[in-house]
Amino acid sequence: MRDRDLFTLRLAHRFDQLYEALQAVYGTRADFDAVLQRVIVRLAEAHVARPEPLRLLDIERDLSPGWFQKESMLGYVAYVERFGPDLTGVTEQLDYLDELGVGYLHLMKLMHARAGENDGGYAIVDYTGVDPALGTTEDLVALCDALRSRGIALCVDLVLNHCAQEHPWALAASAGDARYRDYFHFFPDRTLPDAYEATLPEVFPDFAPGNFTFDETSGHWVWTTFNRYQWDLNWSNPEVFLEIVQVMMTLANLGVEVFRLDAVAFMWKRMGTDSQNQEEVYDLLQALRACSAIATPAVAHKAEAIVSPDDLIRYFGVGKRHGKVANIAYHNSLMVQYWSSLASGDTTLMTHALAEFPRTPDSIAWGTYIRCHDDIGWAIADDDATAVGLNGQAHRVFLSDWYAGLFPGSDALGGVFQYNPDTNDRRINGSFAALAGLQAARERGDEAAIDLAIERMLLGNALICGFGGLPLLYMGDEIGLPNDAHWQEDPAHAGDSRWMHRPMMDRAAAQRRHDPSSVEGRLFDGLLQIVTARRTTPQLNARYDTDVLRTGHPRLFTIAHRHPLGTLIGVYNFTAGTQWLRAGVLADEGVHRPLDRLGGSLLPVVDDHVELGPYARCWLVDASAES
């Protein structure tokens, strides 16, 4: 079959998905047909230019579209400069990633960002150019090739909501070029910005208050949701869409396999609303998704939307967009609930909130994670809190206090981020080890506290690996790196305390991972056991539903993964005490002789209960079904 036929087949298969979404956004424009045609030409050109090995990968993924859902898939997330410290250095670290069984690598601050402050790389001056400090395009291609030969997919950020004020588009717009003016949201005075502000929240109230910035050169106000130097793109202009399609095609043809679509919630603006999660955002993402599926089908899309569950679920597509928007999205609530249950030692809220979570299409995967490069915002819905007898605001205050180490009994060493006096909202920074109490315990030399903190962290890793998603490990957490004590020393970082939990990789600490008596060795080995068990546990493939069981036990979090081979029940003890789960909970799901696939042994049923030690985590299946 000729390549052209393959393209035509894929276009025919996805045309409706592309057309309907583009039509919904740009359909009323006189030039709509021309826009559609230009998009298709761009896709065809990319397809023609696609290198042979990637064409093969396209076919492989056509045959196996659920590749990122597999129980063997594990993600690793790192800053190039912190892990590498450049692209060649990353290439040299691939054995380390192989040791963990990584199949997906998200590298940050990879494309060329503005000099100085750049929001951790999210202020782009060149969407397809590698940051010169990290390497060249050739280095990127070499890395992609090396990763692909090991079965590791490279994930790169595509910053869709904004670019840097130094991006050539922004410079031209600022200088008065009418074509590029229309790439952004420019306002001659404060009338419209003030009207919008009435309903807009602030993302960085501390260091970037307001959503508009005065541009001296043009004498206009520009929409800047994040920092003053990040200019929001005007997606109502189809030229912006066409530019980004071109960027996606270029990066995909270099070998990028996953796009992390950054800050997508903010892409569309509407007066009188918070200008987040607008209908057009889902259409735009559906259209972009269709573009990849047509021209570069090996590529998956991950949406970064840290929003409420009902809005979040729409990034996977609901109704007519079912399964057509993004392939992967962050499960922010799971992350928040892990930290919440750990602090309170009570899983009632977690069980309620996650049991109420909307269902997802079976073609997607949650990105499950404990920590990432960003702060933690306490996304606890007031309704959920009320339903379990808590006050949402009071609980959020408790969590901030706990993780900032201000609450009696807390061992956490987090830092407060973006205190908002109006709402009393305080987000939290800190590495996994710092927030879970490991760092403080080590500083005190408190062996018993170290033991418990390690168990707490392994509980977290078992949870994200056992939830039925794509687990994303943040660099350094596998060996318990503490907060970076020197983060303020770099002037470009000093104003942003998220750098606290973005330490340099500590190679000496990583070397200790093979020493079973070291903390690093215990954490790393514990994680390996989890990852290894997961690989042979088909129930944990992300395509199968995860159901939260309301067992009534306030200290355990219990989930069921139903599968043709038999149900798997995940049980997680969020306390330092021993707990007992009624065996009936397991028997109701067909698990009569509970075999723990994680620990590798049968769990004795005593007096109709199974025993779970401090921070225990078990993946239980029926032993007879296994044999």
Q: Which residues bind ligand GLC (CB under 6 A)?
A: 119-120, 122, 159, 226, 262-263, 304, 373-374
Nearer to ligand GLC (CB atom), residue 232 or residue 547: 232
What is the rounded end-to-end Cα distance, in angstroms, of the chain? 45
> Measured from the CB of residue 373, what is the shortest distance to ligand GLC in angstroms?
6
Which of 241, 417 has the CB closer to ligand GLC?
417
Q: Which residue, 166 or 304, has its beta carbon nearer to ligand GLC? A: 304
Return d(Cα 348, Cα 475) in angstroms, integer. 31
Nearer to ligand GLC, 120 or 570 (CB): 120
Distance of closest approach, residue 461 Cβ to ligand GLC, in angstroms:
21
Distance (Å, rounded) from C-alpha 246 to C-alpha 4? 20
Cα angle for residues 437, 439, 441 (degrees, 5° grid): 65
Contact present, 556 and 347 (Cβ < 8 Å): yes
CA 107 – CA 602 distance, rounded (Å): 40
Output the smallest distance, CB 496 to ligand GLC, in A: 9
| Those residues with Cβ within 8 angstroms of residue 260's Cβ, 6 or more apart along the chain or in another chain | 106, 155, 156, 157, 158, 302, 304
Distance of CA 19 to the CA centre of its chain: 28
CB of 262 to ligand GLC, least distance (A): 5
- Cβ at position 393, least distance to ligand GLC in Å: 24
For 451, the token pair is 């033991």
Output 263 or 621, the one with its CB closest to ligand GLC.
Answer: 263
Tokens for 227?
């920092």
**Residue 506 bears catalytic tag:** no
- Which residue type is seen at 106? H
Residue 227 CB, nearest approach to ligand GLC (Å): 8
Per DSSP, 536 falls in state: T
Establish whether the linkage from the previous residue to 85 is cis, with ω within 30° of 0. Answer: yes
Confirm if 306 and 377 have CB atoms less than 8 A apart: yes
Residue number closest to ligand GLC, CB atom: 122
Residue whose tokens read 């490991």: 438
Catalytic residue selected from 304, 375, 411, 589: 304
* Cα 1 from Cα 484, distance rounded (Å): 55
131, 262, 375, 478: which one is catalytic?
A: 262
C-alpha distance from residue 427 to each of 144, 186, 322, 409 (Å): 35, 31, 33, 20
The tokens 């109709």 sit on which residue? 608
Residue closer to ligand GLC (CB basis): 57 or 233: 233
CB of residue 225 to ligand GLC, shortest distance in Å:
8
Distance CA 506, CA 265 (A): 35
Least gap, CB of 142 to ligand GLC (angstroms): 27
Considering beta carbons, is residue 416 or 449 the nearer one to ligand GLC?
A: 416
* Closest among 169, 168, 98, 85 to 134, alpha carbons compared: 85
DSSP helix/strand/coil, 576 = coil
State which residue, 232 or 384, has the beta carbon closest to ligand GLC. Answer: 232
Nearest distance from residue 491's CB to ligand GLC, in Å?
Answer: 18
Q: What is the secondary structure of 334-393 as a DSSP string? A: HHHHHHHHHHHT--HHHHHHHHTPPP--TT-EEEEES--SS-B-----HHHHHHTT--HH
Nearer to ligand GLC, 11 or 105 (CB): 105
Question: Is 304 marked active-site?
Answer: yes
**DSSP 3-state of 431:** coil
* One-character DSSP codes across 113-129: E-SS--GGG-SEEEEEE
Looking at the annotation, which residues are catalytic? 262, 304
